[in-house]
């Protein structure tokens, strides 16, 4: 006669195994959420700086058409029209004469000002753009504005 014997098999997860999995997930989330928030803020600041791209193009074209170096301080940029404010970008302003672009962001959690300064070694050289972000945390600034 064969008896119907029940094998001792585990039929699921134990409570301690489930607690370990939950603890591991909590640790991973505690690292991932702040990293995602920084990434999101940096992306919004980058969007605002990309709006300033039209100012860069305008300055480059104006310098070339007027035949003066951007460092001369005599560039007439009075005809430039600022783009409308967006959710992430409060304003974009261009200093007449120097071409310094000031971008003010309105990103929640990291509002600040980015300054994009043009420089040109000589009239025939290309314009170099230097971006600084005083007061903006380095992890919230785009790579082009973090400096060294």
DSSP 56-72: HHHHHHHHHHHT--GGG
pLDDT reading at 6 higher than 60: no
Query: Once rounded to an integer, what is the mean pLDDT over residues 111-120?
Result: 90
In a domain, 116, yes or no: yes
Query: Measuring CA to CA, which residue among 85, 80, 31 is closest to residue 55?
Result: 80
In a domain, 42, yes or no: yes
For the chain, where are the E strands, in sequence order? 89-94, 101-105, 112-119, 128-132
In a domain, 131, yes or no: yes
* pLDDT (0 to 100) of residue 4: 54
Query: Once rounded to an integer, what is the mean pLDDT over residues 15-19?
Result: 93
Average pLDDT, the chain: 86
In a domain, 7, yes or no: no
- CB neighbours of 99 closer than 8 A, spacing ≥ 6? 59, 63, 70, 75, 77, 118
In a domain, 5, yes or no: no
* pLDDT (0 to 100) of residue 67: 84
**Range(s) of the domain holding residue 89:** 15-145
In a domain, 136, yes or no: yes
Query: Once rounded to an integer, what is the mean pLDDT over residues 25-29?
Result: 96
CA distance 47 to 44: 5
pLDDT reading at 14 higher than 70: yes
pLDDT grade for 8, boundaries at 50, 70 and 90? low
Q: What is the model's pTM?
A: 0.76
pLDDT grade for 108, boundaries at 50, 70 and 90? confident
In a domain, 56, yes or no: yes
In a domain, 6, yes or no: no
For the chain, how many structural domains are there in total?
1
């Amino acid at each position: 006669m064969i008896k119907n014997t029940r094998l001792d098999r585990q039929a699921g997860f134990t409570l301690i195994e489930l607690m370990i999995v939950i603890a591991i997930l909590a640790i991973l989330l505690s690292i991932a959420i702040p990293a995602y928030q920084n990434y999101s803020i940096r992306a919004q600041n980058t969007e605002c700086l990309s709006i300033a791209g039209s100012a860069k193009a305008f300055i480059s074209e104006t310098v070339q058409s007027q035949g003066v170096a951007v460092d001369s301080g005599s560039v007439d940029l009075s005809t430039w029209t600022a783009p409308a404010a967006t959710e992430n970008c409060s304003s974009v302003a261009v200093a007449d004469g120097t071409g310094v672009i000031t971008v003010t962001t309105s990103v929640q959690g990291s509002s600040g000002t980015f300054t994009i300064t043009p420089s040109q070694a000589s009239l025939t050289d290309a314009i170099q753009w230097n971006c600084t972000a005083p007061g903006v945390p380095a992890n919230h600034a785009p790579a082009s504005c973090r400096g060294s």
